Each structure stands twice: as structure tokens, then as C-alpha cells.
């Protein structure tokens, strides 16, 4: 059985950036796992706030048919305070235990947590040790943080891998609605409406009705695994 691992900086990033591929992989017989590094709340993390974050994520993952969910529960915007060797060791352990074929990681956009998790992921997915059998490592597009970078000065997201999610877009949008504490009430980049808008735009670029797009960092094979 092939396996897909999504490493998400925060709860809801996995829906925004990889909800479609999680559903697509599951539909095609993959075992799926989501590793969430931090919470949706900064310090101090109370038991009530943590429970909100975990409860919303559990509901979203049920819709996305995720087989296994792991949470490090580090407060948002505090990753820079964490010892890098400890974080890399913990993420490496999850990769060793799961042995994924495909790993989806955050794009290094304007959000500092996304940048830190990207750097950590680039270290732990190097083709050596337990990570040597990973077939694809790809960055996901996470609205709205992906759009806040300065053009031509900072990294900009230009996808080179587009997944057809035309039959799965409603489930992806439905999963996002479970994050009531972070879902935008206005029509901005983190709204349910914008999920359809972005997927429609990405789909129009590659002749799909709706697409979810990624930037492949490393690929061992050119086979179409989905």
C-alpha cells in the first residue's frame, strides 16, 4: 500500500493546501497521515484552546478520510524558540514510522512558521536513511500566506504539479468549514468560497475544472501516481 504524508504547520493548512490530494490519494488506495506541527493559537495555550484546535481538526480529518493524525501541539509563532535538533528528530521519527511514498510540505512563504517547517522538512526528507524511498516531495499552496510574499524578492509559488480534484472540491470545502475558529467570515483567501475560486483558477491553467497545485521539490520517478 502506498502512503501519503502531509506535514502541516497549523491545523487548517492541510485542508487549504492538500485537502484535495488527501482525498485523491485515499480514493486511489493510499494510506494517509497528517502531521500538524503547531496549534492555531499562540502562547499561552490553555486546555480549552488546545481542545478547540484538536476538535476542529478531528472533524476536518474525518471528512478528508485521514487514516492517522499526529499533533505536536507547539504554540503558533513559537517554532523559532524550539531546538531544531529536537524538531528534526521528532519529524524524522514520524517519517520512519510511516514510511511515506509522497510527502507534502509547506511552501516557504511569508508566514514564519511555514518557513521554519519548510526548512525542517527539507532536512528530514533528504534521500538518505528512512527517507531514501520517498518518491515525491512537494510544496503545497496555502492561502493566504502564500500570497503575502514580495514578488521577485522572496520565493513565489509557481506550480509544476496539478492534481485534478474536480470531483472532490466540495469535500475539501466542507472540511474547511470545520475550522470555525479560523474560517474567514468575509470573502478573503481563507474562505470556503475562495477554495473554489483558487481551484477553478488552477484548473483553468491545465484544462481541469478544479485543480490543487504543488511545486515538486524532489521526484524519483515520473510515473503518474494519481
Smallest Cα–Cα separation from 203: which of 174, 162, 173?
162
- Least trusted range by pLDDT, from 7-21, 35-49, 70-84, 156-170: 35-49
CA–CA gap between residue 214 and residue 183 (Å, rounded): 22
Smallest Cα–Cα separation from 28: which of 178, 168, 221?
168
For the chain, what percentages of helix, strand and coil (3-state, to nearest 5) are there?
A: 40, 20, 40
11's grid cell: 491545523
92's grid cell: 524524522
Confidence of residue 49 (pLDDT cuts 50, 70, 90): confident
- The pLDDT tens digits of the residues spanning 63-107 come to 999 999 999 999 988 999 999 999 999 999 999 999 999 999 999
pLDDT confidence of residue 19: 98
Average pLDDT, the chain: 92
Given a contact cutoff of 8 angstroms between Cβ atoms, the answer to whether 157 and 141 are in contact is: yes
Smallest Cα–Cα separation from 154: which of 107, 196, 200, 198?
107
Q: Tell me which DSSP letter residue 98 carries.
A: H
- Neighbouring C-beta atoms of residue 20, cutoff 10 Å: 28
- The pLDDT tens digits of the residues spanning 115-150 come to 999 999 999 999 999 899 999 999 999 987 767 778
CA–CA gap between residue 94 and residue 61 (Å, rounded): 18
Query: pLDDT over 90 for what percent of the chain?
Result: 74
Sign of the CA dihedral running 21, 24, 30, 34: positive
Three-state secondary structure readout of 171-198: HHHHHHCCCCCCCCCCCCCCCHHHHHHH
Amino acid at each position: 500500500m502506498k502512503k501519503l504524508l502531509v506535514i502541516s504547520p497549523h491545523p487548517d493548512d492541510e485542508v487549504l493546501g492538500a485537502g484535495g490530494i488527501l482525498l485523491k490519494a485515499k480514493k486511489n488506495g493510499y494510506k494517509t497521515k497528517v502531521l500538524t506541527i503547531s496549534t492555531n493559537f499562540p502562547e499561552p495555550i490553555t486546555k480549552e484552546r488546545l481542545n478547540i484546535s484538536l476538535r476542529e481538526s478531528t472533524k476536518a480529518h474525518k471528512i478528508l478520510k485521514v487514516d492517522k493524525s499526529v499533533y505536536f501541539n507547539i504554540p503558533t509563532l513559537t517554532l523559532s524558540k524550539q531546538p531544531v535538533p529536537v524538531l528534526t528528530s521528532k519529524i524524522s521519527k514520524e517519517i520512519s514510522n510511516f514510511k511515506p511514498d509522497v510527502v507534502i510540505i509547506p511552501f516557504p512563504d511569508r508566514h514564519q512558521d511555514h518557513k521554519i517547517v519548510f526548512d525542517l522538512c527539507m532536512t528530514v526528507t533528504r534521500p538518505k536513511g528512512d527517507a531514501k524511498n520517498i518518491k515525491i516531495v512537494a510544496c503545497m499552496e496555502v492561502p493566504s500566506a502564500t500570497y503575502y510574499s514580495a514578488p521577485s524578492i522572496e520565493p513565489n509559488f509557481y506550480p509544476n504539479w496539478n492534481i485534478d480534484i474536480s470531483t472532490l472540491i466540495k469535500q475539501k470545502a466542507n472540511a474547511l468549514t470545520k475550522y470555525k475558529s479560523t474560517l474567514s467570515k468575509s470573502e478573503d483567501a481563507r474562505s470556503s468560497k475562495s477554495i473554489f475560486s483558487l481551484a477553478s483558477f488552477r484548473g483553468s491553467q491545465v484544462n481541469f475544472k478544479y485543480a490543487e497545485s504543488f511545486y515538486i521539490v524532489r521526484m524519483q520517478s515520473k510515473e503518474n501516481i494519481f
